């Protein structure tokens, strides 16, 4: 296996609130290699977005990274000075946000926002930066890019804006892109176009990609490996086909079986019982135990990460048999 681009080790991010300390990301570890797509899956509030922001060093007070290492190609990002980390952001690591309507600054033109990004990282002339921006827009399939450059965000559709944001992420050829549900706010046809183009561009450039989503169907089509998060922890990870076809963690199993499918037409859906726990009052031991049909006394202690196959591990005292 080639050396990973990103290697996260024991990342723990907490938020100090008035009612207590909230552990949003709890001892999270994973790696992403060149050209690899890691799907980071979980419900709202499972900590997947905070994991993304932690990698970029964009955790604001009252939040803070409490522990862990974030290695990007041999550099521990947590040990970098704020200014050095800022220079990496947008250049070596790019992020794509969830809602294209809210991401671009409404009062600045597209060219202003793309060119400022280039000038923040590259010592090039303004004219050269404009050419680079135009080329980036063309690359993500935006028609007449020179004209679009002069537009304001509100003059473009949602899909077009998300393409602009994707172009901004690809523009400086980063090593890693963190994409936080970039297609969730778009309609399905635009979503599939964008997924297709992202996949093509990632493969061509060997960029590592972390795709944060709650949508398992997107992950199935796009990712190589998947990590399932629950209440701040990764509960199961492995190659995407293995995990989705033969989930071993009861939570993963529940997630997959709560998706409506064409073959189960007319049958009741099988939702996971109960609610996502509050991160402040997490149960002792396995956080999923109160909602889990297989829980017993052993689940009162936190399950350790257990390898069940090469590149595949989970945290559960009572895993489902592989293939169940």
- Please select the residue that binds another protein; options are 77, 104, 137, 227, rule is CB under 8 A: 104
Angstrom distance (rounded) from CA 115 to CA 127: 9
Number of Cα atoms under 13 Å in the Cβ half of residue 270: 12
What 3-state class would DSSP assign to 126?
helix
- What are the strands of the beta sheet with 20-32, ordered from one edge? 20-32, 6-17, 63-72, 75-76
Q: Could you give phi then psi for residue 46, rounded to 5 degrees?
A: -85, -5
- Please select the residue that binds another protein; options are 16, 20, 79, 108, rule is CB under 8 A: 108
Please state the separation of Cα 257 from the chain's center in Å: 22
Around Cβ 225, how many Cβ atoms within 10 Å?
Answer: 23
Distance of closest approach, residue 116 Cβ to another protein, in angstroms: 6
Distance of closest approach, residue 83 Cβ to another protein, in angstroms: 9
Between the two ends of the chain, the Cα-to-Cα distance in Å is: 29
For another protein, the binding residues in 129-158 under the rule CB under 8 A are: 152, 154-155
120 binds another protein (CB under 8 A): yes
Distance of closest approach, residue 94 Cβ to another protein, in angstroms: 8
Size of the site for another protein (CB under 8 A): 30
- Please select the residue that binds another protein; options are 66, 73, 78, 121, rule is CB under 8 A: 121
Contact window for another protein (CB under 8 A) among 17-25, 37-45, 82-90, 196-204: 82-90
102 binds another protein (CB under 8 A): yes
Q: Which residues pair with 242 in a beta bridge?
A: none
Residues in touch with another protein (CB under 8 A)? 56, 58, 86-91, 94-95, 97-99, 102-109, 116-117, 120-121, 152, 154-155, 165, 168
């Amino acid at each position: 296996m080639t050396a990973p681009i990103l290697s996260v080790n024991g990342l723990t991010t907490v938020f100090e609130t008035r009612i207590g300390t909230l552990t949003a990301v709890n001892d999270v570890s994973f790696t992403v290699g060149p050209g690899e797509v890691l799907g980071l899956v979980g419900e709202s509030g499972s900590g997947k977005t905070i994991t993304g922001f932690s990698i970029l060093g964009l955790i604001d007070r009252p939040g803070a990274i409490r522990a862990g290492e974030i290695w990007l190609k041999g550099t521990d990002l947590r040990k970098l000075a704020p200014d050095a980390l800022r220079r990496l952001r947008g250049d070596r690591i790019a992020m794509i946000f969830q809602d294209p309507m809210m991401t671009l600054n409404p009062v600045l033109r597209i060219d202003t926002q793309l060119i400022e990004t280039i000038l923040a990282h590259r010592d090039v002339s303004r004219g050269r930066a404009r050419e680079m921006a135009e080329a980036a827009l063309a690359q993500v399939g935006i028609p007449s890019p020179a004209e679009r450059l002069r537009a304001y965000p509100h003059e473009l559709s949602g899909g077009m804006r998300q393409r602009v944001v994707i172009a901004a992420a690809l523009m400086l050829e980063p090593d890693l892109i963190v994409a936080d549900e970039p297609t969730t706010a778009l309609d399905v046809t635009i979503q599939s176009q964008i997924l297709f183009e992202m996949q093509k561009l990632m493969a061509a450039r060997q960029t590592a990609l972390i795709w944060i989503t709650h949508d398992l169907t997107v992950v199935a089509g796009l990712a190589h490996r998947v990590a399932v998060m629950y209440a701040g922890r990764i509960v199961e990870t492995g190659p995407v086909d293995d995990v989705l076809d033969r989930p071993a963690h009861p939570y993963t199993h529940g997630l997959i079986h709560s998706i409506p499918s064409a073959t189960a037409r007319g049958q009741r859906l099988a939702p996971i019982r109960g609610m996502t726990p509050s991160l402040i009052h997490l149960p002792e031991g396995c956080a999923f135990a109160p909602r889990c049909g297989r829980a017993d006394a052993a689940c009162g202690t936190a399950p350790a990460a257990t390898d069940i196959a090469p590149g595949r591990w989970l945290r559960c005292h009572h895993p489902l048999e592989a293939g169940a």
